[in-house]
Amino acid sequence: MIWPLIRTCLVIALLTTTFNLGRMSVEFSGAGSDWTVVILSIIVLITSLIGLAVGELVRNASKKN
């Protein structure tokens, strides 16, 4: 599997999402579009973290076998 490419994409998604959430914390106005960006950014952040964690677990499990 092309794990390094997937891990790199997940890390980039994690970094950009974190940056955007930090920016939104300063510029948040309470509009509907702002709420949409915040909620979707949190979903992307959580899925990126889960993807990185699961990928490491699978990779470590395959090394043991």
Smallest Cα–Cα separation from 50: which of 14, 12, 22? 14
Residue 57 above 90 pLDDT?
A: no
How does pLDDT run across 21-47, given as a tens digit for each residue? 999 889 888 899 889 999 999 999 999
d(CA 17, CA 20): 5
28: left (phi over 0), alpha (psi -120 to 50) or beta: beta
pTM of the entire predicted model: 0.79
Smallest Cα–Cα separation from 37: which of 50, 28, 48, 26? 28
pLDDT for residue 1: 66
Q: Is 29 helix (H, G, I), strand (E, B) or coil?
A: coil
Cβ-proximal residues to 4 (8 Å cutoff; 6+ apart), any chain:
none
